[in-house]
Amino acid sequence: MTSVSDTASRAATAPLLVAAAGGKPAHPPVWFMRQAGRSLPEYRKVREGVPMLQACFTPELVCEITMQPVRRHGVDAAILFSDIVVPLVAAGIGVDIVPGTGPVVAEPVRTRAAAEALPALEAGQLDKVADAIRLLRAELGDTPLIGFAGAPFTLASYLIEGGPSRHHERTKALMHSDPTTWHALLGALAAITTTFLEVQVAAGVQAVQLFDSWAGTLAERDYREFVLPHSARVLDAIEGVPKIHFGVGTSELLPAMREAGADVVGVDWRLPLDEAARRLERHGTAKPVVQGNLDPAVLLADFDAVEGEVRRIVAEGRAAGGHIVNLGHGVLPNTDPDVLTRVVELVHSLTP
C-alpha cells in the first residue's frame, strides 16, 4: 500500500513543483488556465443544468471537473475548479454568476460604510471546498493540485462596479477620490482571500495561483500605491507551497508583481518570456521563474503554426530560472481539445 508520505515524496519531484522552485525538471511542465471548462464536451455534459456556483460548492462535481483535463490531456497539474467569487459567496456577500454576463453584485460597495460592513470569511464556511480538495488529492496521485483565488483588486473591481466593466471607471474614481475607503475595502478583501487560500493549502493543494485579472488596467504607480500592499499581504500569509501571481495586460507591472512576493510570475502573450525574465531579474535576488505564455487564439490555427509558437515559447522560457508552460490567459471555448493534448505531448518532448 502506498503511504501518504510516499505520495508526497514523489509529488515533490513533479516537473511543475521542480520548475516553480527554480530547478530543472525532467521535462517542461505544462498546464492550461481554464483547462477544465467549456472546451471539453465532458465538462459541458456534467455541467448541463447546474448553475456555476452550485457546481463550485458540490465536492464530487468539483472533483470530476478538475480531473477531466488531467485524464484527457495528461497535463502536469490540476487546478481546482472554482470561481473567483466563491469566497465572497461563502462569506455571505450577495454575488451571482449570470450566464453570458459574469459576476453580478446585488449591492455594489462604494462607500466606507459598505466596505466596513463586509462580512469576514470563516474557514468553516469553506468546508465543501476543502472536501473537494481532499477528494482530488486521493484521485490525483503524483499530479500536483493548484489552488487559486482572485486578487483583492480584481474582487474589488467587481464589488464596486456591480459586475464586469470595460473601463473600471467607478473603481478608479473611488481609488483616487477616497483612498481611505479604498484601503479599507482592499484590506477586507485581502483577509477574505487569505482565508480562502489558507483553507485550500490546509486541505492539500500543492501550489496556489493568485489571479489579478484586471490589474493590467492600472498604471504602475497606481498599482504600487493601491494594489501591491494588499496582494503582498495575501502572498506573505501563504506558506509551504509555491505561489504563482498572474494578471492580464501586466507587462509593465511584472517587476512590481514579483515584489508582491510570488515565486512564479505569470506572463500573458503580449511580452516574450525572455524579455519578461530580463525585466524581472532586475527586481530580485534570484533568477525569476515565469509561467506562460502562448496566445490562446493561436490554438485555433493549424498545428504547424501552433507547434512553431510552442517551440518559440519554450526556447524563450530558458532565459528564466524556471519555466512553467501555459497560455497567456484561459482556454477559449471553441478550442479543439485534441489540439491541447497534442500541445502537451509536444511540450513533454522538448528540453527544459
User: Considering the chain, what percentage of its residues have pLDDT values greater than 70?
Assistant: 96
Q: pLDDT tens across 308-322, in order?
A: 999 999 999 999 999
CA distance 265 to 244: 6
Count the neighbouring beta carbons within 10 Å of the beta carbon of residue 310.
23
Q: How confident is the model at residue 10 (pLDDT cuts 50, 70, 90)?
A: low
Its domain, for residue 104, covers: 4-348
Has 47 been annotated as catalytic? Answer: yes
Q: Which of 72, 137, 158, 233 is catalytic?
A: 158
- Annotation says 38 is catalytic: yes
The end-to-end CA distance of the chain, in Å, is 33
326-348 pLDDT, tens per residue?
Answer: 999 999 999 999 999 999 999 99
Task: Please pick, among 43, 76, 83, 110, the residue that the annotation labels catalytic.
Answer: 83
* pLDDT per residue as tens digits for the range 90-104: 999 999 999 889 999
26 grid coordinates? 525532467
Banded model confidence at residue 5, pLDDT cuts 50, 70, 90: very low
d(C-alpha 149, C-alpha 151), whole Å: 6
Report the predicted TM-score, pTM, of the whole model to 2 decimal places. 0.95
What does the pLDDT look like over 49-90, one tens digit per residue? Answer: 999 999 999 999 999 999 999 999 999 999 999 999 999 999
Task: Give the CB-side neighbour count of residue 50, counting CA atoms within 13 A.
Answer: 16
Closest Cα to residue 92, out of 106, 82, 103? 106
**Phi, psi at residue 228, to the nearest 5°?**
-50, -45
Active site residue 158: yes
pLDDT in tens, 191-243: 999 999 999 999 999 999 999 999 999 999 999 999 999 999 999 999 999 99
- Count: domains in the chain: 1
Task: Tell me the C-alpha distance between 226 and 176, whole Å.
Answer: 9
Q: How confident is the model at residue 283 (pLDDT cuts 50, 70, 90)?
A: low
Q: Quick one: pLDDT at residue 2?
A: 41
d(CA 161, CA 139): 39
CB atoms within 10 A of CB 351: 9
Of 47, 72, 110, 233, the catalytic one is 47
Question: What local confidence, expressed as pLDDT, does residue 3 receive?
Answer: 43
Among the residue ranges 94-103, 135-144, 187-196, 289-298, the one predicted with the least confidence is 94-103
Q: Is 278 a catalytic residue?
A: no
pLDDT score of 318:
97
Q: What percent of the chain clears pLDDT 90, i.e. is strictly above it?
A: 93
CATH number at residue 114: 3.20.20.210
Q: Which three cell numbers stand for residue 305?
A: 503554426
Count, in order, helices (H) and strands (E) of the chain. Answer: 17, 9
Q: Dump the DSSP string for 3-67.
A: -HHHHHHHHTTSHHHHHHTT---SS--B--TT-SSTT-HHHHHHHTT--HHHHHT-HHHHHHHHH
